[in-house]
Structure 1
Amino acid sequence: MNEPGVMAQLLRPAELRRRGLLMAATVLVLTFLAPWGTDRLPPMRRACGWLAMVVVWEVAIVLVVGAVLAWRRRHGRQAACLGPGWTVAIVMIAAVPAVPLCLLATFRHIPSAATCAVFTLNSVGLGAIISLLRTRWRAGPSEAAPEAAAIAMALADGARGDADAFLARHAPHLAGTQLLALEAEDHYLRIHTDAGDALVLLRLRDAVEGLGAESGLQVHRSFWVARDAAPLARRRGQAWALEFAGGLSVPVSRANVAACRAEGWL
């Protein structure tokens, strides 16, 4: 369902710490406000109940977000293009597994249909409000980025880390520079960075697999471009090329034009 690269980035320590802090804050607020009659419960039991439900919802939302990001990448779409409506939609999809589990955790059995309906409406409504507030807090008052966009930023951070590790392993003298592109030269690979290039004995296919799908895009059978390289597009007749400072020009094959447009490069 999810691409391994996507879920691996969603489970990075930095992303887990961020979500853990947000979960703790959510549990503290709900325990203090005690909605839906939970004020009748002892504080510790109330906190444990909210913690269980928040954890269930968080896991469900992470799985749904991972599936959405993977699906959009397979179809050449950008994760950062998701709007606030996606946040609500993701919460509603996550409710399918989350609500029954929360019902069982709260009532120890499935209650009447009326109770289930009210519980579902309250859960989805509260979940949507919390998700929107959390993503707005992360983005700032002037830019209410959706939850998926916030995770897309974490994916981009992971891609930069992969590029740094790649340079340190295959071109140590270029470690710390920005990876721009990879170019296949027979059985060798030319690594292009903003501080120069290096020729190493490595196949392009192996290098791309090692960097991961989140790090960049293969735009030609002999060229791969880093996702955060920010190239300039140039059209030459019916063909496109991506150009970088320093004179590097990377041709774009016709089959990859749509994917480059989805990245915002063309």
Structure 2
Amino acid sequence: MKLLRRFDVSAVLTPLIAGAVLTVLAPLGTHIFSLPLRALYWISLCFAGGFGAMAVRFGLNRWRPSAPAWLCVLLQSFGSTIAVAPFVLFTSSQSSVWGFFLTLFYIWVIAIVITAFADTAARSRVAGEAADAPKRPALMDRLPVHLRHATLYGVSSEDHYVRIHTSAGDHMMLMRLADIDDLAQPVSGLRPHRSWWVAEGGVDRMVREKGKPTLILKDGTHVPVSRTGARTLRDAGWLT
């Protein structure tokens, strides 16, 4: 559950929107400020709080990525409040320690609302990306880590082993070629030869070598095409 894998525009939009709303509502006695000064105060405060929440989120992603949503929101709101505490200390008109902590409490309540909104939006975005991402073939999960997210080009049979050809290299494993059709789903592919399975997206071009059709994969591998395979490819529209 990594919500900070890359820069998200919401990291800027959320403090801006929250700051604008608080500028209009003018809580905690800030109605006495002029509109520009009130906007500067609340937007600056929201950005400071946002950095505090992001720091906590970074720590959670690293040390406890499976933390429940409520705990993430609670800890981020604490981080946000702590981040703005120095700002509040130097700008607050409160003259007592009690008044200062009461102001921080109100800001913490506001931080919970803002953090809950931002966290929910981030989780919805990540869930949407996961739903839209193409399903990875089960075959790829059997490969070494550095090949699992590569593009599958084809599979060749070598005795009792198969060689998996991908955009990041190849790998041999003990497996039957007959099992590839199921394990490669949802990748579309065909059998141009009894010892080959080829992904449609892995074919770069078709050439003729000694008068016989040959498929060239995107990694440069030459794949022979048998007579039966040629009919299969022709029926599928791969050959004309």
TM bucket by the smaller chain? 0.5 to 0.7
- Confirm whether residue 47 of structure 1 aligns to residue 39 of structure 2: yes
Cα distance change of structure 1 residues 122 and 199 upon mapping to structure 2, 3 Å threshold: closer
Residues 81 and 108, structure 2, Cα contact 8 Å, conserved in 1: yes
SS at match of 2:48: helix
Letter of the 1:101 partner, please give it.
F
Among 10, 13, 16, the residue aligned to 1:18 = 10
Q: Deviations over 1:163-199 (max 9, x none)?
A: xxxxxxxxxxxxxx76542624xxx968765775524
More relative contact order in 1 or in 2 (CA 8 Å, sep 6+)? 1
> 1:126 Cα deviation (Å)?
1.0
Taking the aligned partners of 2:63 and 2:57, their CA distance within structure 1 comes to: 10
Distance 1:191 1:129, change over 3 A: closer
CA RMSD, Structure 1 to Structure 2 (Å): 4.2
Query: Deviation at 1:26?
Result: 1.0
Residue 64 (structure 1) aligned to one of 56, 65, 79: 56
Q: 1:119 aligns with which of 96, 103, 107?
A: 103
Query: Cα distance 1:94–1:35, how it changes in 2: closer, same or farther (>3 A)?
Result: closer
* 1:37 Cα offset (Å): 1.2
- Where does structure 1 lack aligned partners over 5 or more consecutive residues? 1-5, 139-146, 161-176, 205-221, 224-242, 249-266
CA distances 1:205-224 after superposition (whole Å, capped 9, x unpaired)? xxxxxxxxxxxxxxxxx99x
1:246 counterpart letter in structure 2 = D
Q: Deviations over 1:145-180 (max 9, x none)?
A: xx6x357559969xx7xxxxxxxxxxxxxxxx7654
In structure 2, the CA distance between the partners of 1:200 and 1:90, relative to structure 1 (3 Å rule), is: closer
Residue pair 1:179, 1:193 contacting (<8 A) in 2 also: no
Work out the CA distance in 1 between the residues paired with 2:115 and 2:50: 10
Q: Indicate the structure (1 or 2) with the bigger Cα radius of gyration.
A: 2
- Structure with greater helix percent: 1
Counterpart amino acid of 2:103?
Answer: F
Residues 225-248 of structure 1, C-alpha deviations (whole Å, 9 max, x = no match): xxxxxxxxxxxxxxxxxx997336
Cα separation, partners in 2 of 1:107 and 1:22, compared to 1, 3 Å: same
Q: Which residue of 2 aligns with 1:198?
A: 165
Name the aligned partner's letter for residue 46 of structure 1: R
Quote the sequence identity (%): 16
Write out per-residue CA displacement over residues 24-63 of structure 1, whole angstroms, 9 at most, x where no aligned residue.
Answer: 2111111111111111110000000001100100011011
Provide the TM-score with structure 1 as the length reference: 0.48
Report the CA distance shift for 1:102/1:56 in structure 2 as closer, same or farther (over 3 A): farther
Change (3 A) 1:55 1:191: closer
TM-score (normalizing by structure 2): 0.53
State how many pairs are aligned.
165
8 Å CA contact retained: 2:57, 2:76? yes
Please tell me whether residue 247 in structure 1 is matched to residue 183 in structure 2.
yes
Contact 1:190/1:200 (8 A) holds in 2: no
Q: Distance in 1 between matches of 2:148 and 2:117?
A: 46
Distance in 1 (CA, whole Å) between partners of 2:129 and 2:55 is 15
Unpaired runs of 5+ residues, structure 2, are 155-163, 174-178, 185-240
